[in-house]
Structure 1
Amino acid sequence: MSRAREKYDSDEKVDINLSPMIDCIFILLIFFIVTTVFVEESGIEVNKPQAASTQALDKNSILIAISADDRVYYGGEEIGVSGVRPRIQRILTTEESGVIIQADSGTSHGAFARVYGEAKAAGAKNIHFATKQ
């Protein structure tokens, strides 16, 4: 036994290998980055109308914007009223989220009504209208 004890009591330096721990941390970091929900903006700046009351909504909502000249945008791309339904249907197949319509204060009521109807026809259950606070 004294020989075994002499072996461990010698002046040999013992190193701890940290590379497996660093690998685990990087894997966790990649997992959290991939599963994070990113907010996708509508792509244009709209002058929202004032409202008497406001309510904060979920961050992972679908944002549809209507400009003052009644053009419809999603993610910075003009999709038109006819592009609202397929875009929302495609998104709703992967995740359940609400729809927020950001209409400019100069938008006609008819354009808003058509976009709202397309969102409803796409199967959106929670459709909201964005206003100033």
Structure 2
Amino acid sequence: MGRFSESSNDDELEGGIDMSPLIDCVFILLIFFIVTTVFVEESGIEVDKPNAASASQLEKTSVLIAISAAGEVVYGGSEIGVGGVQSTVKREISKEMIPVIIQADKDAKYGLVARVLDEAKLAGAEKVSFATTVAGS
């Protein structure tokens, strides 16, 4: 009976390190970093922006509408057309009054850019800006 008792104690001592608290800590850190990460919203298409000497940094939270050289009006990666600008802007600024940024290709038609600007203003946007690159960069 003594030998049986000794072998069971050896098995208990050779157990292992309990990994569940370590895994819990890793998951908590992962959740923390996911929640605190700032997500930057892109327009969804590549636009060749014009240069401007007076360019400045704008807010990170904004409604970003892109206009391609081919005449596509894009928001959030999908084409909305000029007719969808007003409803999109109205929906986004209903939560919070955020600026609207029009990211127009330098080869986009001026009339289309003016119509998108007009639709954004009609939706109630107080601040509408154009995305450009700083001259000389």
Offset, 1:34 = 4.7
Distance (Å, rounded) in 2 between the aligned partners of 1:99 and 1:37 = 19
Match of 1:10 in 2: none
How do residues 1-133 of structure 1 correspond to structure 2 at under 5 angstroms? Answer: 26=28, 33-34=34-35, 38-133=39-134
Can you give the 5+ residue segments of structure 2 that lack an aligned partner in the other structure? 1-20
CA distance in 2, matches of 1:105, 1:34: 36
Q: Following superposition, which runs of at least 4 residues in structure 1 exceed 6 angstroms of deviation? A: none
Q: How much has 1:38 moved relative to structure 2?
A: 2.5
Aligned residues: 112
AA partner of residue 42 (structure 2) = E
Name the CA distance, whole Å, in 1 between partners of 2:96 and 2:34. Answer: 18
Provide TM-score, normalisation by structure 2. Answer: 0.72
| Identical pairs, percent | 58
Distance 1:126 1:37, change over 3 A: farther
Question: 2 CA distance for matches of 1:80 and 1:127?
Answer: 18
Compute the displacement of 1:89 (Å).
0.7
Q: TM-score, normalised by structure 1?
A: 0.74
Aligned-residue Cα RMSD (Å) equals: 2.2
Is the 1:43–1:77 Cα contact (8 Å) retained in structure 2?
yes
- Matches of 1:67 and 1:74, distance apart in 2: 11
Contact kept? 1:38, 1:60, Cα under 8 Å: no
CA distance in 2, matches of 1:29, 1:93: 32
Alpha-carbon separation, structure 2, partners of 1:86 and 1:37:
26
Q: Structure 1 stretches of 5 or more lacking a match? A: 1-18
